[in-house]
A and B are shown apart, each in its own frame.
Chain A
Amino acid sequence: MSSLLNLNNISLAYGDNNVVNDISFDLEEGQISCLLGPSGCGKTTLLRAIAGFEKPDTGEIKIRDHIVSNASSVLAPEDRNIGMVFQDFALFPHLNIEANIRFGLSKKMNDSKQLERCNELLELVGLSGSNEKYPHQLSGGQQQRIALARALAPEPDILLLDEPFSSLDVELREQLAREVREILKQQNTTAILVTHDQNEAFAMADTVGLIHHGKLVQWDTPYNLYHQPSTRFVANFIGQGAFIPGEYIGDQQIETDLGIITGSVPDQCKIGCKLDLLIRPDDIIHDDDSDLQLEISERLFRGSDFLYTLKLVSGKTILCIASSHHNHQLKEKIGITLDVDHLVMFPQQTTEDTASITHD
């Protein structure tokens, strides 16, 4: 099966500033992927290059095996059969909802067909009957859905969403993200979402590409991104956690402040080599009966649970989530046990881009 979208070695610079740096990936038909990264990492620029609003300096973009952009030529956005949903929705304020949705429909389509398609989409996004309304009469969430309907109307090969939820209320975001995913899956639409919010990315995407300084750091499922981060940056950016130092003492055992932890250690690590272990809150279980007692240095009440910061002997800290029934005070000592399912470790004192050593 050939993929719907191919990016090969895409780079783009503004002057001396390398915004997108040698990025390649493929996307299968019907897949939803997400470009995730901190603001200014180049993810939006990459999306705009796929749409045709930016011209890459090098590399090749193919949609359905047709080159739409390479070093010598670019296809204009209007000729690419892409749909796009914008951060500010960009609904045309002088047109009503129906005219907005029909805007991209082919002129060859006759009037009744166009209306039919429009109503079909309005039903899909749950706004049937708002044909005559104008964008300013709708709420933010409704405008968002109309923007989606408008982009989907011409049945684009690929739908691009540029931070589509960032101008909405936080409570609304996850709900809409789920709804949008449902709609896209129902239509078997291939889509790329750009966001800086990992919850949004996890809620929407089958595959997530984490971008940092214009480079694609990891292209993986949300699960793997969390549990098998390929670099220190990914480990830090995704989810919560802390690094604790450890030393390999042989026999797949690592000595740390939390005691000896057993797990598969890579072959290149000889006895005595220093490692940093990623400890996520879900690796630690609160257990009052445990021998391992640590002092609480910070506590954060989050409703259903507490997030405790615990201090190790060396001064390093780790995070622990405990049910909200376990109300402990600062400076108090609580017992924990380790439940490390798989070890994530990086050689000590390395830069963040060094490849990780990950094992289950």
Chain B
Amino acid sequence: MPDTESLPRLAMKSLPFRTYLDRWHISVLLVALLCAVPVLTVFSYVFQPAGEVWQHLTDTVLSDYVLNSLQLIIGVSFGTLTMGITTAWITSVYKFPGRKVFQWLLLLPMALPAYIIAYTYTGMMDFSGPIQSNLREWFGWSYGDYWFPEIRSMWGATSMLSLVLYPYVYLLARAAFLEQSIVALEASRSLGAGAWKSFFKVALPMARPAIITGLSLVLMETLADYGTVQYFGISTFTTGIFRTWFGLNDSGAAAQLSTVLLIFVLILITLERISRKQARYFHASNREKRRPQLSLSPGKAWLATFACLMPVLWGFILPFMQLSQWAIETYEEMVDSEFLTLTWHSLSLAGSAALLALAIALLLAYGQRLQNTRLIRFAVRIASMGYAIPATVIAIGIMLPLAWIDNTLDNWLRTQFDVSSGLLLSGTLFALMFAYMVRFLAVSVGTVEAALGKIKHSMDDAARSLGLNPRQVLLSIHMPLMRRSLLTAILLVFVDVLKELPATLILRPFNFNTLAVRAYELASDERLADASTAALSIVIAGIIPVILLSLSINKQKT
């Protein structure tokens, strides 16, 4: 009989469960709390007495903000739904020339930030731009002879936003169409409904939850847009918040405006949540591996090609060509040491934000995997809520408390020690990074969660039964299995930060410029061609995640 005293050299851990529980809960809750700071700050201003500025705003411009925002929402909904659903249906059901290529080409407009496409079109449709010049040349017109649509208008902004945002609807609608069992459609046809009736009575209603999810994402982006509406001179909430903050210098009123905007957002979040829940019930029970593609007559097939070409042409090819042409004309002048500094700023900022977001996402996802309590799940939801909150609102919600901390500390140091601490938090890269985390954490959390969810728990158990401790399980099992997803998470946040404009404008340290800010500033000064190098760099970087996305979609199908 073995001696009980001498053998067990391995120390038994005294109840590690309770300590783990606390460590995970505390850190996850802390992250959630920090992420909630901007929204809580902004909401806290609801209870502040309304100042003169607020009074002024409600009397004069508030109704404009609401009306313009609503008009934009309706217009963009119409535009993205039309383009998104048509292209999704065509590419998922029919055989036509170029179908395979269009599957991913249709995603390309996502690579263009709305503010960049907006000023590119402004340049293209200018009096001296290529379109009007050519028209004048062909028809022998001169100034004043003809009417030409003004792009810097409500319909212009609606078109610009629709062109770059429809891929959200396309992506989700297409996935829903592909998931639908072909049998449902065949059943409908066998019951006497024609192709069109089957689409409207069966396919479309079955895809409805997915389409609404896509649409709510589109509208969140629409409400969050600052660059486009500002450039086109349309007063919406985001431009109003900027004007109140910088022009009228009233942070309280800016926060109160943000609250009104957040109410719109809240409706959208609810809508998204509800439709995502519904989508579960709309899943087809059994999926065939390969759906037969329906044939079209040659004429109709080319019509399908045309329908898919249009969004890509207007949403990506034309503006991309225009930007490239400008860049070729101006790059010698524009690519100087300042441009290199800008690029470095952008890359280092985006890189560190992406890595930090990944680290936090790993923490949240692991917290959820190891301690899957209701509280942790709720905290993770809160922490990844930022994708819905306009960056302008996040920036204000961060600026206010940080400035307060800075001022309080500074005052205290002055009175106590007669030294000034200056701005420690606000107006530093810390504030900017904080905002990026709040806004983009959802992207990396979503990716990491999905990757981790695919690794079955039995995998962890197997590794531990073979002698690995939890840290070793992470390093030798999870990391290799998740490598691709972790890279994707980094890239997605990287590109999002690179494109980000409004929060960077508000929170960047004095004289600290990025590619996005520079492109925006040059365009605002009507130096459209000069802005193109910076803009083109952002667009090219933006193509990377689109390629990743289309690759992952292709992989899912096989």
Contacts and interface: CB of A to CB of B under 8 A. Distances in A.
A53 B459 CA distance: 13
A55 B14 CA distance: 12
Given A86-B462, A92-B459, A104 B15 contact: no
B467 A154 contact: yes
B12 A73 contact: yes
A55 B17 contact: yes
Contacts of B458: 86-90
Given A53-B464, A76-B16, A86-B462, 17 more contacts: A51-B461, A53-B461, A64-B2, A65-B4, A66-B2, A67-B12, A73-B13, A73-B15, A76-B13, A78-B465, A78-B466, A83-B465, A83-B466, A90-B459, A92-B481, A103-B466, A106-B467
Interface residues on A, range: 35 or more
Contacts of A315: none
28 contacts: A2-B1, A48-B461, A51-B461, A51-B465, A52-B464, A64-B2, A65-B1, A65-B2, A65-B4, A66-B2, A66-B4, A67-B12, A74-B12, A75-B12, A75-B13, A76-B13, A76-B16, A77-B464, A77-B465, A78-B469, A86-B462, A88-B458, A90-B461, A90-B462, A91-B462, A94-B480, A104-B465, A160-B465
Contact of A78 (B2, B4, B464, B477): B464
Interface of A: 2, 48, 51-53, 55, 64-68, 72-80, 82-84, 86-94, 103-104, 106, 150-151, 154, 160
B263 interface: no
Provide the main secondary structure of the chain A interface.
loop
B468 interface: yes
A88 B15 CA distance: 29
Interface in B449-474: 456, 458-459, 461-469
Contacts of B462: 84, 86, 90-92, 150
Interface in B465-507: 465-469, 477, 480-481
A82 B465 contact: yes
B191 interface: no
Given A74-B13, A74-B15, A75-B12, A103 B4 contact: no
A60 B4 CA distance: 15
A134 to B, nearest CB: 13
A51 B481 CA distance: 24
A36 B480 CA distance: 37
B8 interface: yes
B467 A94 contact: no
Contact of B481 (A84, A87, A94): A94
A160 B464 CA distance: 13
A103 B463 contact: yes
A154 B12 contact: no
Contacts of A64: 2
Top 10 closest A-B pairs, CB basis? Answer: A104-B466, A90-B458, A90-B462, A84-B465, A86-B458, A77-B464, A73-B12, A79-B10, A78-B467, A94-B480
Interface string B1-35: 11010011010111111000000000000000000
Contacts of B481: 92-94
Nearest to A86: B458
